[in-house]
């Protein structure tokens, strides 16, 4: 069994100053998918992660202090793929894949559309291109675990006050419609396989004491190929872990 964690750290260097390394040592996942590193590879202390027993791989944005994904893994992967081969997305460091035998684990950071119409249009285009890319990838790598920050609440129970959020990026009807299509393509929302309760969130605004009041959004997921469904053992959210405005999400998979 492997414990896989996905965590948008909102800046790896900032998280390390808040005790991230100690948490990682205690939590001890087999694989950690990281989003929003906000760092170039040379700015990340890979020796620290090596000391904790991890091989580390980083795919950074060209723009400094922005976006970026990483994978820490105890077992050395057979192969690492940096990006999707689509320049405008790869320039933003949003997709990193590690292959272990016939299983592939992806750390993905979907764009946010909250800064305005231009980025929302970029996000919607990314979503279509991402789905096309993944459906093609499934033909050669059918056992996919796509972990990361999707920047979309999939269901009404995944966001506080859904009635008022219909026009907010991250909960737009067209975004949720895209997510349903992605599920229909053959992906399991691993957390919802085990937990159907509301008020389970993975991101909270820094404003208005949102985290203490648990007024959040569930936007971080482990989406797993349907063929692999019987290998999913457990999934959870760790809201008490606080190095970021997100919290980690876990899945235990038998592979």
Please give the positions annotated as active site.
149
User: Do 149 and 143 contact (CB within 8 A), yes or no?
Assistant: no
Buried b (16+ CB within 10 A) or exposed e, 97-128: bbbbeebbbbbbbbbbbeeeeeebebbbebbe
User: Do 204 and 148 contact (CB within 8 A), yes or no?
Assistant: no
Distance CA 217, CA 150 (A): 11
The tokens 């919290």 sit on which residue? Answer: 247
DSSP string, 93-127: --EEEEEETTEEEEEEEPPP-TT-HHHHHHHHHHH
Distance CA 137, CA 143 (A): 10
Run of H or E residues at 224: strand 220-225
Distance CA 102, CA 145 (A): 11
Tokens of 36: 């929003």
Cα dihedral sign, 179-183-185-188: positive
């Amino acid at each position: 069994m492997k414990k896989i964690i996905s965590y948008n750290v909102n800046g790896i260097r900032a998280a390390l100053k808040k005790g991230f390394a100690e948490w990682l040592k205690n939590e001890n996942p087999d694989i950690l998918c990281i989003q929003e590193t906000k760092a170039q590879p040379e700015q990340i202390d890979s020796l620290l992660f090596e000391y904790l027993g991890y091989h580390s791989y980083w795919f950074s944005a060209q723009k400094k202090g922005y976006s970026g994904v990483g994978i820490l893994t105890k077992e050395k992967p057979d192969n690492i793929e940096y990006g999707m081969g689509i320049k405008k997305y790869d320039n933003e460091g949003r997709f990193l894949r590690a292959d272990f035998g016939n299983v592939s684990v992806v750390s993905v950071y979907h764009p946010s559309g909250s800064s305005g119409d231009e980025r929302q249009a970029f996000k919607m285009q990314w979503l279509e291109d991402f789905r096309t890319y993944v459906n093609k990838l499934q033909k050669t790598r059918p056992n996919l675990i796509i972990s990361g920050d999707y920047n979309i609440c999939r269901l009404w129970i995944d966001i506080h006050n859904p009635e008022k959020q219909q026009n907010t990026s991250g909960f737009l009807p067209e975004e949720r419609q895209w997510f349903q299509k992605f599920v229909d393509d053959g992906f399991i929302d691993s957390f919802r396989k085990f937990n159907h309760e509301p008020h389970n969130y993975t991101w909270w605004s820094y404003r208005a004491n949102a985290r203490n009041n648990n007024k959040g959004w569930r936007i971080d997921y482990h989406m797993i190929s349907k063929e692999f469904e019987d290998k999913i053992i457990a999934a959870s959210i760790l809201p008490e872990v606080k190095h970021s405005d997100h919290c980690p999400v876990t899945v235990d998979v038998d592979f």
